[in-house]
Amino acid sequence: MKYEIGDKVIIANEDKIYQYWEDWFDEYKVNKTIKAHFNSGKWPDVSHTFNVVAVGYDHRYTDYAVYAIRDKNEDVYLIAEEGIKKVKKSKKQGIKEIANYYGYEHQKVKAIEEMCELITELSKGNEVGIIEEIADVQIMMEQLEILCTNSAEVKKTKKHKIKRQLKRIKIEKTYYKSQDEDFTIHIIEGGVSIEN
């Protein structure tokens, strides 16, 4: 079967939603609490995300596997396999799930390990290794931002630092007229100082 209990799905084909069959639940020994919640009087809202709560197969009505799906209101519906579609997790959701599972202390140590590995690959100049370790470090940084008590401040600080560096580059370009010109650039609080 394509889907398992616990999968999050959406309805892809409304024609494949079935009426309530009392014996389907008995035949496939589906949890009786699901049976009690089943609402045969109304059709599901297709904009909802559903949880797969039971799986089975009923050759009498369909050539596909049949699933019981439950919406946020605890109503349960029967639907053929071709009528539902798995909800894919976004990259952000996946990273958040990983971060929350391991927690800050664990991922802080893991981040240090990954950054050390990136430093090693940069030192070697190994392009394949650099690519792999950049990906690992970026994943860890995103997790630390999620786990940080003030992720909004991280975003604000990042924006400020990028803006500040672009300002420095602009000043350097303005004063750097030729390779032979001698001047000293001093990084000072709030900007850049140029000395000829």
Tokens for 105?
């202390």
Please report which confidence band the pLDDT of residue 125 belongs to, taking 50, 70 and 90 as the band edges. very high
What confidence score (pLDDT) does residue 178 get?
47
According to DSSP, residue 152 is labeled: H
What confidence score (pLDDT) does residue 60 get?
58
Instruction: Collapse the DSSP code of 65 into the 3-class scheme (helix H, G, I; strand E, B; otherwise coil) and give the result.
Output: strand
What confidence score (pLDDT) does residue 103 get?
93
pTM of the model: 0.51
Q: Per-residue pLDDT tens for 19-60? A: 655 556 666 566 666 665 665 566 777 778 888 887 777 665
User: Are the CB atoms for 68 and 3 separated by under 8 Å?
Assistant: no
Tokens for 50?
């559903």
According to DSSP, residue 76 is labeled: E
What confidence score (pLDDT) does residue 20 get?
55
Distances from the Cα of 98 to the Cαs of 44, 59, 75, 142, in angstroms?
32, 40, 30, 11
Q: Per-residue pLDDT tens for 139-186? A: 999 999 989 878 788 889 999 999 999 988 888 887 765 444 555 555
What is the rounded distance in angstroms from the CA atom of residue 54 to the CA atom of residue 33? 12
What confidence score (pLDDT) does residue 185 get?
55
Average pLDDT over residues 4-23: 75
What is the rounded distance in angstroms from the CA atom of residue 38 to the CA atom of residue 32? 10
Please report which confidence band the pLDDT of residue 84 belongs to, taking 50, 70 and 90 as the band edges. confident
What is the rounded distance in angstroms from the CA atom of residue 143 to the CA atom of residue 132? 17
What confidence score (pLDDT) does residue 34 get?
63
Q: 150 Cβ partners below 8 Å, 6+ apart?
A: none
What confidence score (pLDDT) does residue 193 get?
54
| Residue 81 burial (CB count, 10 A) | 17
What confidence score (pLDDT) does residue 61 get?
54
Give 186's strand partners: 193
Domain ranges of the chain: 8-86, 91-148
What confidence score (pLDDT) does residue 112 get?
96
Distances from the Cα of 44 to the Cαs of 78, 97, 123, in angstroms?
10, 28, 58
Please report which confidence band the pLDDT of residue 1 belongs to, taking 50, 70 and 90 as the band edges. low
